Chain A
Amino acid sequence: MTKQHANWSPYDNNGGTCVAIAGSDYCVIAADTRMSTGYSILSRDYSKIHNCKADKAVLSSSGFQADVKALQKVLKSRHLVYQHQHNKQMSCPAMAQLLSNTLYFKRFFPYYAFNVLGGLDEEGKGCVFTYDAVGSYEKVGYSAQGSGSTLIMPFLDNQLKSPSPLLLPAQDAITPLSEPEAVDLVKTVFASATERDIYTGDKLEIMILKADGIRTEVMELRKTLSECWQHTLSIVLIRISTLGSLCYLELCLKFSCVVNRFSFSYL
Chain B
Amino acid sequence: MTFTIPIDNGDALKNAETDSQRTLYPYVTGTSIVAIKYKEGVLMASDMGGSYGSTLRYKNIERVKAIGKHSLLGASGEISDFQEILRYLDELVLNDNMWDDGNSLGPKEVHNYLTRVMYNRRNKFNPLWNTLVLGGVKNGQSYLGMVSMIGVSFEDNHVATGFGNHLARPILRDEWHADLSFEDGVKLLEKCMRVLLYRDRSAINKLQISKITEEGVTVSQPYSLKTFWEFQAFHNPTAGAQGSW
CB within 8 Å of B: which residues of A? 1-14, 35, 37, 40-43, 45-46, 64-66, 69-70, 109, 112
Contacts and interface: CB of A to CB of B under 8 A. Distances in A.
A37 B127 CA distance: 18
B152 A5 contact: no
A245 B24 CA distance: 62
Interface string B1-30: 111111111101000000000001100000
Nearest to A35: B154
A65 B115 CA distance: 11
Contacts of B9: 1-4
A65 B165 contact: no
A70 B119 contact: yes
Most central of B2, B152, B153 by chain A CB within 10 Å: B152
B152 A6 contact: no
Contacts of B113: none
B24 A6 contact: yes
A43 B152 contact: no
Given A1-B9, A4-B9, 11 more contacts: A3-B6, A3-B7, A3-B9, A10-B122, A11-B3, A14-B152, A43-B156, A66-B152, A69-B119, A70-B151, A112-B1
**Interface of B, helix, strand, loop or mixed by DSSP:** loop
Q: Which 7 pairs between the two chains have the least Cβ-Cβ distance?
A: A66-B151, A1-B9, A6-B5, A4-B7, A9-B3, A43-B154, A5-B4
Contacts of A109: 123
Contacts of A6: 3-5, 7, 24, 125
B212 interface: no
Contacts of B3: 6, 9-11
14 contacts: A1-B10, A1-B12, A6-B3, A9-B2, A10-B123, A10-B150, A13-B1, A35-B154, A42-B165, A45-B156, A66-B151, A69-B151, A70-B119, A70-B151
Contacts of A1: 9-10, 12
Contacts of A11: 1, 3, 150
Contacts of B156: 43, 45
B166 interface: yes
Interface residues of B, number: 31
Nearest to A39: B166
Contacts of B122: 10, 66
A183 to B, nearest CB: 27
Interface string B144-174: 0010111111101000000001100100000
Nearest to A46: B154
Contacts of B119: 66, 69-70
Interface string B99-122: 000000000000000010001001
B152 A65 contact: yes
A9 B1 contact: yes
Contacts of B25: 7
A13 B3 CA distance: 13
A10 B129 CA distance: 12
Nearest to B1: A11
Interface in B182-235: none
A198 B9 CA distance: 41
Contacts of B6: 3, 5
A180 B131 CA distance: 43
A255 to B, nearest CB: 33
A199 to B, nearest CB: 14
Nearest to B12: A1
Contacts of A9: 1-3, 150
Contacts of A13: 1
Contacts of A37: 148, 152
Contacts of A66: 115, 119, 122, 150-153
Contacts of B1: 9, 11-13, 112
B4 A12 contact: no
Contacts of B2: 9
B36 to A, nearest CB: 14
A1 B6 CA distance: 13
A127 B7 CA distance: 45
Contacts of B115: 66, 69
Interface in B37-76: none
A10 B125 contact: yes
B145 to A, nearest CB: 10
A134 B119 CA distance: 19
Contacts of A40: 165-166, 169
Nearest to A106: B123
A1 B8 CA distance: 8
